[in-house]
Amino acid sequence: MSKKYGKVYLIGGGPGDPGLITVKGKDILGKADVVVHDYLVNPELLSYTKPGAELICVGKKAGHKVMPQGRINELLVEKARGGRIVARLKGGDPFIFGRGGEEAEALAAEGIEFETVPGVTSAAAVPAYAGIPLTHRKIASSFAVVTGHENPAKGESGIEWDIVARMGTVVFLMGVTNLAENMQKLIDSGMNPDTPAAVISRGTYPSQASVIGTVADIAGKAAAREDISSPAIVVTGEVVGLSDVISWYEKKPLFGKRIVVTRPREQARPLSALFEEMGAEVIEFPAIEIAPLTSYAVLDEAMKALVSYDWIIFTSVNGVGGFFERLRHLGLDVREMHGPKVAAIGEVTAEELGARGINVDMMPADYRAEGLIELFREMDLKDKRILIPRAKEAREILPESLREMGAHVDVAPVYQTKKAGKTKTAALKKEISEGRIDVITFTSSSTVRNFLETVGEIPISDGKPVFACIGPVTAKTLTDLGYKAAVVPAEYTAGGLAEAVADYFKDLK
């Protein structure tokens, strides 16, 4: 009986922006038993792997090779022979200066089944993110992609410099170390020294930095910039001149800003995505986590008598989720809610209810308890029964105000918040102290309190970091603890917060 071997996928992970991995590559990461990845692969891509997958970093950073190529080949064979699905995740495209061809040869020689999943190469993507098209109908009809760092063991250069120098556009990958030498070779081979040239460092990342010059002076300009370093690519040709006109990535409203999101992990991604779309680099540092209760006795009793209430008030998305999860646990469903009217604080909370088939009867324009209280003041609440499913820890202003109006109010905890465990506190504190954090965002009073308890005193230097709070209640908590919110949106939503942060920096320009 022949042995059943596994399979290896040689996957191009793209140049850095995690959104540039192919759909197929992402799908394979989700089913792989082993992921063998390079140092330069964006760590966010590893979040697509399945629980329990073995993750092996094999280095491949310039000057810091953790594992020799021969050993990498052996590792892929070894894991596949164990019957496992192996994802070999490489930066850019595996067959463009990625040594994917060598790995494929090694697998073929050992009879291991493999498949190549092409990736978006940095040779095309990085110039595009810098506003540089490799070809243009009026400017360049050809381009060459050249290694900027040839294998010294080859002896003579394998690059036909006289041909490369006549190309409309030339892209050097791994081009910083030998930048001056390569530019001189182009000049010696006939390229006009005044030909535009660019160096783009950390392309497609929020920390992308670029410098524009000519073939003659680009090496000196790049050396004078502290933010230009490996990994970087070099582009020469008249198309470089278009960057002033069609550059888009570095013009995003929050490009280069580093923003801390303190929301619970399960809610952080939508807010993070808004900031990332605006060009920011996001550090997710959950200050709280949503946890189940030790007892649901109060909630259970209320749920069995939902029809007896006149109003149910939902104050948050978490409250909605916890409420309906418990409803299902009790063997009940939305039909139990045919009697009471429903109020919601906030558009997102209302949308969550709508997604569950519940139409909201009342929502204040001011997305906080005070706004809802003002609407209820216009009604006769004497002897009305009101249920408020909410967090175990919350402000008492809403139930107390409704009781003062004559209502019978039951507060039923559906979840609790607690301080999230931290493994990266020291690293974040260091970045804050070094002035490398631009904004810290807070979306609730509990995120403020827990973040400050975890991180400690926050030094402010040269106006950084800026504090941004989702609303005035959260901002007041921050003020009470000795800090001032520079950003408080008029609309108390994640989208409003992101827009307000962008407007803050726009006004500073």
Residues paired with residue 92 on neighbouring β-strands, in sequence order: 14
Report the C-alpha gap between 414 and 299 in whole angstroms.
7
What number of other Cβ atoms are within 10 A of residue 213's Cβ? 17
| Closest alpha carbon to 32 in 56, 16, 15 | 56
Secondary structure (3-state) at 231 = coil
Residue 438 designated active-site: no
Report the C-alpha gap between 306 and 309 in whole angstroms.
6
Catalytic residue from among 17, 33, 38, 93: 38
Catalytic residue from among 17, 33, 167, 174: 174
Report the C-alpha gap between 41 and 15 in whole angstroms.
8
| DSSP code, position 448 | H
| Closest alpha carbon to 298 in 215, 370, 399 | 399
Q: If you search the block for the tokens 């995120």, which residue do you land on?
A: 447
Catalytic residue from among 60, 79, 90, 257: 60
Please give the full DSSP string across 316-351, using - where no structure is assigned: SHHHHHHHHHHHHHTT--GGGGSSSEEEESSHHHHH
How far is the CA of 288 from the CAs of 8, 273, 450, in angstroms? 40, 19, 7
Tell me the CA end-to-end span of the chain in Å, nearest whole number. 71
Q: Where are the alpha helices (DSSP H) in 36-178?
A: 69-81, 100-109, 122-129, 161-164
Report the C-alpha gap between 470 and 489 in whole angstroms.
6
Residues paired with residue 467 on neighbouring β-strands, in sequence order: 440
Give burial (CB, 10 Å; 0-12/13-18/19+) of 478: buried
Length of the chain: 509
Residue 38 designated active-site: yes
Active site residues: 38, 60, 174
